[in-house]
Amino acid sequence: MNKTIDYELIIREINQKLLPEEKHAFEEWINESDEHLKLFNSIRKYYSGEIELQEIDNQTLTHDWLNLKEKMDSLNTISGSGKKIFMSLLKYAAILILISTIGILWFNKRSPQRTTSSIALVNKKPVVKTKGTVIILSNGNVVAGNKSFSLKEEDGTQVTNTNNKLSYYGNAGNNAVSYNTIKVAHGERFEVVLADGSKVVLNSGSSFTYPTSFSGKNREVTLFGEAFFSVTKNKHQPFVVNAPNVHVEVLGTKFNVLNYVGESYSKTTLVEGKVKIKDRANNPVCSLTPGEQYAYNTISTEGSVQRVNTSVNTAWMEGRIACENEYLESIMKRIGRQFDLSIEFEQSQLKYIKLSADLPAFKDYHKVLYLIEESSGVHMKVVSNKILIYK
């Protein structure tokens, strides 16, 4: 690589927090070579849960990703609120990479009310890749989502998991906040009850990072993917969902956020209460009332508010596949996530067929594909866990 870059800029770009003057430096770096673009995409896809560590090639792993470790070595203490997001993302971008390469886990202990963040070093055995949904605890331990357990987090919060429902309680007012991450496998859904009593249902292929207790001025969480939130009301402590393209702020309400990496649209749908939408620079965009949806086009970078049938946008929680005048490509991506199948269109024009449907919660994907075939006029076959769509 000819030019070097502060890895903070990469992480800030992933979280869409770059300042205008930083944006120029980042664009110069990423446009310089294919290697830079490849590195950035690896970090972005790993953090969002799109790929596993094993899918990152060894050359990138041993060269550029070890530079990330060196960056962390030099940041044992980080000052300033502007670096909190950076440190939080560093934790999850580096966590399994360093386990696999040097058998050491780095994790970040940080508090929203403190001006410094620290990184602690703990000896760990290499993590074996776990199939299915996983929960990454604050000490770096990875627990299978289908495993029942009860434990106490480092900040004193009690954590229990039974029947794919994770619950947190205790530790009110403790400033030593720990962070957990849930990565939901394709073909699965997962529910978590946060320390404030708010309930979150996570859809397939989603990644959700959150504090085990809330002690700052806001209750902030980060989502890649899709989730339905039932937020406990607290007018003194707003609940904020940070997603790649939007920030959603509420006091207490029920809403759905759809924000998968690689999708052309990001959608926030309000079922009950009121939410405020902010853009990636945290500037106010609009407020929603029940039955309204804010849709952000990730290609044109334009957003709009429209009235919608909220039951269509929340059908996934019952396993249903519902859509209204939606492109076939978007529908098939949802089917792929729900049944853990990849998608391939043999003719690209087939992606733009529009459909409206409300399919029952079938356990067998063959029935779903048959109904889509009948409605769209296309043909489908499944080969080696891949749905091939053709005319």
Domain ranges of the chain: 1-127, 319-390
Q: Two tokens at 345?
A: 């269109």
Determine the 3-state secondary structure of 278 from DSSP. strand
Task: Please state, as a whole number, how many other Cβ atoms lie within 10 Å of the Cβ of residue 279.
Answer: 16
Give CA–CA dist 212/60, Å, rounded: 33
pLDDT at 118: 26
Of 116, 133, 48, which Cα lies nearest the Cα of 81?
A: 116
Predicted confidence pLDDT, tens digits, the chain (391 residues): 455 665 566 766 776 666 766 777 777 777 777 777 777 777 666 555 555 544 544 444 444 444 544 444 444 333 343 344 444 444 444 433 333 332 222 223 223 333 222 222 233 333 334 568 999 998 888 999 988 999 888 778 889 998 879 999 876 555 667 889 999 999 999 999 999 999 999 999 999 999 998 888 899 999 999 999 999 999 899 999 999 889 999 988 999 999 998 788 899 999 999 999 998 888 999 999 999 999 999 888 899 999 999 999 999 999 999 999 999 999 999 999 999 999 999 999 999 999 999 988 888 899 999 999 998 999 999 998 899 999 9
Question: What pTM does this model have?
Answer: 0.70
Query: Which amino acid is present at 358?
Result: D
**Are the C-beta atoms of residues 5 and 29 closer than 8 Å to each other?**
yes
Give CA–CA dist 74/357, Å, rounded: 54
pLDDT at 1: 43
pLDDT at 264: 85
Q: How far is CA 31 from the centre of its chain?
A: 26
Side-by-side strand order, sheet with 104-109: 77-79, 116-123, 104-109
pLDDT at 328: 95
Give CA–CA dist 286/278, Å, rounded: 7
Torsion of CA 55, 262, 105, 130, to 10 degrees: -60
Q: Two tokens at 133?
A: 């949904």
Tokens 């690896």 locate to 42
Query: Which amino acid is present at 300?
Result: S
Determine the 3-state secondary structure of 360 from DSSP. coil
Of 246, 103, 105, 88, which Cα lies nearest the Cα of 179?
A: 88
Q: How far is CA 65 from the centre of its chain?
A: 21
Query: Which amino acid is present at 280?
Result: R
pLDDT at 163: 82
Q: Two tokens at 259?
A: 């924000």
Q: Do the bridges between strand 158-162 and strand 149-152 make them parallel or antiparallel, or are there none, so unpaired?
A: antiparallel
User: 304 φ, ψ to 5°?
Assistant: -150, 155
Buried/exposed code over 68-77 (b: 16+ C-beta within 10 A; e: otherwise): bbebbeebee
Of 355, 274, 356, which Cα lies nearest the Cα of 309?
A: 356
Give the ranges where 218-314 is alpha helix by DSSP (H): 310-313
Assigned CATH class of 319-390: alpha beta
Enumerate residues 6+ apart whose C-beta is below 8 A from 325: 354, 355, 356
Find the length of the chain.
Answer: 391
Tokens 């990703």 locate to 65
Per-residue CA distances from 94 to 155, 340, 354 (Å): 22, 26, 40
Cross-strand partners of 121: 106
Of 154, 32, 15, which Cα lies nearest the Cα of 24?
A: 32
